[in-house]
Amino acid sequence: MTAYLVAVGIVALIYMLLTLGLNLQYGYTGLINFGHVAFFAIGAYASALLTLSGWPMAPAFAVGTLLAGLAAWPIGLLSLRLSDDYLAVVTLGFSEAVRITIQEERWLTKGVQGLPGIPRMFQSLGIGEYAEIATLALLVVVNAAAVALVVHLVRSPYGRLIQAIRDDEVAVEALGKHPARLKVQVFMVGAALAGLAGGFYAHFITYLSPDQFLPLVTFYVWIAMIIGGPGRTAGAVAGATILMVFLEGSRFTRELVPGVSEVQLASVRIAMIGLALILMTLYRPQGIFGERKE
C-alpha cells in the first residue's frame, strides 16, 4: 500500500508541474494552449534518449527542459498573430504533430514499439525500494521551487504586466508597453515546466511510447487548473491534487457499481471527472481558489 501511495504522489506532483506551467500561460497571461502535452513529450523523450546515450541524469533533465522551452518559441510567436480560438487549434495541431513525429521516427524513438530501459532515478545509488521515496521527495522540492518562482513572478511588476495583458492587451499597448515579447517569454517558461515534468515522468515510468502523450493529458491538466481556479497558484496545486484523487479514488468504485468490468470502469472514471467538472462550472466557475465575481 505504501508503494502505491508513493507512486500516486509522484504522478500527482508531475501533474502539478504541468498545471503550474499551463496556469502561468492561461491563468495569468490568457494564452490558450491545447498542446501542453507536446512539451511534456519533448522533455520526456529528450531526457530519456540522452540518459540512454550515457549522459548523466541532471544534464539530461536540463537539456529536456531547455528543448521544451525552445520548442515553444515559434508557437509563442504565432500567439502574436492569432486570436484565442485559432491559437487553441494551432497548439492542438502542434501536439499531434509532435506525437506523430515520435511515432514515425523509429530510428530515434523506436516508434510505437516504445522506448524501454530508461534509467530510474536514484537507481545507481543502490537504495532499492527507497528510490521512489527519494524521487517523491525531490519532486516536492522541485514543485516548491516552481511555486516560489511563479509566486515571485506574478507579484513582481513583470507579473502585474502579464496579468494586464490578459485583462486588456490594447490598454497595455496604449501605455507604451510591448506585450509581444512578454507573451513569448511566458509561453516558453510554461513549456519549460512541462518539459521538466516530462523528464520526471520518463525516469519514473522507465518506458515511453507515443500513446502516453495523447491530447487527453492536456485536457486533464486543463481540468486541474479549472477546478483549482485559473490565475491562482494555490489553485494549480489544489487542482492537480484533486484531479489525482478523482482519477485514483475512482478505481475503488467498482465494488459500489455492480456489473461493471475493468474496461467499463475506465469510462465510468472519465464520466465521474466530467460530472465533477460540470458541477464545478455551474456552481463555482471561478474555481476553488478563484475570487467570486458579483
The type of residue at 54 is G
Contact 13, 151 (CB under 8 A): no
Q: How far apart are CA 115 and CA 98, in angstroms?
A: 16
CB 127, CB 134: distance < 8 Å: yes
pTM score: 0.91
First to last CA, the chain: 45
Domain limits of the chain? Answer: 2-214
Looking at the DSSP assignment, which residues form a beta bridge with residue 115? 208
Angle at 226 between CA 225 and CA 231, to 5 degrees: 65
pLDDT (tens digit, 9 = 90+) per residue, 62-98? Answer: 999 999 999 999 888 877 777 777 888 889 999 999 9
CA distance 131 to 221: 26
pLDDT tops 50 at residue 41: yes
Partners of 208 in beta bridges: 115
Residue 194 pLDDT > 90, yes or no?
yes
- Cβ-based neighbour number of residue 239 at 10 Å: 29
pLDDT in tens, 195-230: 999 999 999 999 999 999 999 999 999 989 988 889
CA–CA separation, 21 and 181 (whole Å): 18
Q: Which residue has the cell 468490468?
A: 261
Question: What's the pLDDT tens digit per position in 97-128?
Answer: 999 999 999 989 999 999 999 999 887 777 76
More confident residue, 211 or 180: 211
Q: Would you say 68 and 11 are in contact if contact means Cβ atoms under 8 Å apart?
A: no
